[in-house]
Amino acid sequence: MTNTLLIKNGHIVDPAQKLDQKADILIENGKISKIGKSLPPPSKAKIIDAKGKIVSPGFIDIHVHLREPGREDKETLRTASKAAAKGGITTVVGMPNTNPIADNQTVIEFVLSKAKRESLINIQACGSITKGEKGQEIAEIWEMKQSGAIAVSDDGFDIQNLDVYRKALQYCKTHDMPIISHTEDVNLAKDGQMHEGTVSTLLGLKGIPACAEDAATARIITLVEDVDHRMHFTHVSSKGAIDMIKLAQHKHLPVTADTTPHHFSLTDEAVANYDTNAKVNPPLRSEDHRQAILKGLKDGTLSCIVTDHAPHLWTEKQREFQSAPAGIVGFETMLSLIITNLVNTKVLTLSEAIAKITINPAKTLSLPDIGTLKPGSRADITIFDPKATWTVDKTKFESKGMNTPFHGMKLYGVVTDTFVKGKQVLQNGKICSTT
């Protein structure tokens, strides 16, 4: 297999280099070698014609649920990597709420070693902040970092004891370990099924008020201001939280934030028919919150977009709403929802949108050598057609999960080719048989 590739005739969009132009890319030995117009093909080079398509750095998703170990019936590292590759995603960060919880070096080492053997893409691991994600005792953070974890989070839960949270921040600062915050006051959110508002009242479902996220965001920001260590707020969904994060950023606190495609694409109206595929945590909120998310994306308060990919068994999602688990699969629809609902609606330019899934997440978690097409960097590349359309069909997902509220929707933006370390893993929309 040739170690040299030449991607010709594509339109390169690389926000890290402020590139937005037609050019060729030469890849040698898994690295970006050269970018230029009309590059001559080296001998024995494989030629990829990207005419009429966008060539960008491989997408980076810093908040996903891979389910392995423990729930391989929902997803495996292998199936997750295939779904990610189909969505143009070349690096993901797996959250720690597996079974067992990734709160020690043994689980981190298992995930990373198995990913090296079985994954088509680059899988990074996030350890938990506290043991068992119980919010009571700080986990073996230094040992997990030594084993390869790149961040810590109690995702799925929020640490309610501020003394424990403050000490965790201090400890993580000592070891330069970023924290990813699932931000929620559990007392305000207790037993909630969806966003508290008109729709929850009409459906007779207990709501989760936006202030559950707002209050938790405020208290964490006070800790960040005290300790001065970086905090990344994930799947932000409320207007109040966005306002507070923006204020913290204006005060130059080390605070960053992301949101998801389902939070900028849908509102709580998607739950109107008790559709469990629209049940997520934090919940889909009302239109005023969605508009605040769009504004936060536009002004940069929300610097990243993540999928919060969360596959579940179809039998689990068939339960009554109160008993169904929260979560949406997101790898294979991420780009299309960004193109359809952000770029085509002129909320973001294509370059601004690509930055939120390439260089920005790379900077947020200090991921080296990715998120850019700069010569010398790793050849993780995504090629897509922003004008092509497709209809979402959950039965054709590479993921084991089919829990999506976007089934049957016509969307713009189709990933055609994905490369990881110079190796093609997706060709013309199909997973390469050699992988």
> 211 with 189: CB under 8 angstroms?
no
> 336 with 386: CB under 8 angstroms?
no
Cα–Cα dist 337/262, whole Å: 8
DSSP classification of residue 106: H
Q: What is the DSSP string of 333-355?
A: THHHHHIIIIITTTSS-HHHHHH
Q: Which amino acid is at 382?
A: T
DSSP classification of residue 302: S
Sign of CA dihedral 204, 156, 306, 225: positive
164 sits in which H/E element: helix 162-174
3-class secondary-structure state, position 27: strand
Q: Of 154, 214, 308, 380, which is the active-site residue?
A: 308
Q: How many residues does the chain have?
A: 435
Active site residue 308: yes
Cα–Cα dist 142/151, whole Å: 11
Sign of CA dihedral 406, 407, 410, 416: positive
**SS3 letters across 53-107:** CEEEECEEEEEECCCCCCCCCCCCHHHHHHHHHHCCEEEEEECCCCCCCCCCHHH
CB atoms closer than 10 angstroms to residue 87:
27
Which residues have CB under 8 Å from 145's CB, separation 6+?
127, 175, 177
3-class secondary-structure state, position 13: strand
> Which one, of 92, 71, 72, 67, lies nearest residue 81 by Cα?
92
Count of alpha carbons within 13 angstroms of residue 83, beta-carbon side: 30
Sheet holding 304-305, edge to edge: 59-64, 89-94, 122-127, 151-152, 179-181, 231-233, 255-259, 304-305
> 41 with 28: CB under 8 angstroms?
no
Active-site residues, by number, are: 308
